[in-house]
């Protein structure tokens, strides 16, 4: 199978030296890429700025901003079987980007923010590839993840606690399916969690193919 995986944060420029970003390390997405390669699959990894070793065998597409990630996903979804959206894409970006460094002053500084483009919501409803979303939440984790599953038209959503998952080598997740079933993966190293996730993605994709044949 052909996996298209997004990983890491995005950086939304404020001026030439500053940006808005988040704490995503990219470790979960990179672990999924490695697990998919180990399982014999082809992998394209669209990666925001991270300090993680590139998975051997993956074709890596480096991006920085949410707009660049959006464009890269659009470019490569036509040739994938499973899309794994594990990147922590910024929800907002500055409405205006200063061409020069904003100088420090005594007065308060306000930034006007506008929403970034929603990659998951932009995907076509009629598609031949499996869509896996990720929900990093801090409260009502499962309930919020299930809302995302249906609102964003995902086939699967992987939910985790952002407070303990980000920047950590470990993770525990709840996998939510479109038929309202769920599966929990206990806390373990992200590479171990990733192997379990890849098996789940494979199985769901194969079931989808079987239904279409029947």
At residue 209, the pLDDT reads 73
Residue 105 falls within a domain, yes or no?
no
Of 209 and 66, which is predicted with more confidence? 66
Structural domain count of the chain:
1
At residue 7, the pLDDT reads 98
22 noted as active-site residue? yes
Residue 166 falls within a domain, yes or no?
yes
Q: What is the mean pLDDT of residues 183-193?
A: 98
What CATH number should be reported for the domain holding residue 12?
3.40.50.10300
Q: What is the mean pLDDT of residues 88-105?
A: 96
Give percent of the chain above pLDDT 70: 98
Residue 187 falls within a domain, yes or no?
yes
At residue 190, the pLDDT reads 98
Residue 99 falls within a domain, yes or no?
no
Where helices occur in the chain by DSSP H, the ranges are 27-38, 66-76, 119-122, 141-151, 162-165, 190-213
Task: Tell me the residue range of the domain where 73 lies.
Answer: 2-91+112-213
Residue 103 falls within a domain, yes or no?
no
Q: For residue 196, how far is the Cα from the chain centroid?
A: 17
- Closest to 177 (Cα-Cα) out of 204, 141, 212: 204
CB 13 within 8 A of CB 90: no
Active-site annotation holder among 22, 51, 126, 160: 22
Give percent of the chain above pLDDT 90: 94
At residue 212, the pLDDT reads 56
CB 89 within 8 A of CB 83: no
Residue 13 falls within a domain, yes or no?
yes
Structure tokens that stand for 105 in this block: 């002053």
């Amino acid at each position: 199978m052909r996996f298209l995986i997004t990983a890491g944060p995005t950086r939304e420029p404020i001026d030439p030296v500053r940006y808005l970003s988040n704490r995503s390390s990219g470790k979960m997405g990179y672990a999924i890429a490695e697990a998919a390669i180990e399982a014999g699959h082809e992998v394209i990894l669209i990666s925001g700025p991270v300090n993680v070793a590139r998975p051997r065998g993956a074709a890596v597409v480096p991006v920085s901003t949410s707009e660049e990630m959006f464009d890269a996903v659009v470019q490569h979804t036509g040739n994938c079987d499973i899309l794994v959206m594990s990147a922590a894409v910024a929800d907002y970006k500055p409405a205006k980007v200063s061409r020069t460094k904003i100088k420090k002053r005594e007065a308060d500084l306000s930034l006007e923010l506008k929403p970034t483009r929603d990659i998951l919501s932009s995907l076509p409803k009629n598609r031949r590839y499996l869509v896996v979303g990720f929900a990093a939440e801090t409260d009502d984790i499962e309930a919020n993840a299930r809302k995302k599953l249906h609102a964003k038209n995902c086939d699967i959503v992987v939910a985790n606690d952002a407070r303990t998952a980000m920047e950590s080598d470990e993770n525990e997740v709840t996998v939510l399916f479109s038929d309202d079933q769920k599966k929990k993966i206990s806390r373990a190293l992200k590479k171990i969690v990733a192997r379990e996730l890849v098996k789940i993605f494979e199985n769901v994709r194969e079931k989808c193919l079987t239904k279409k044949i029947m």
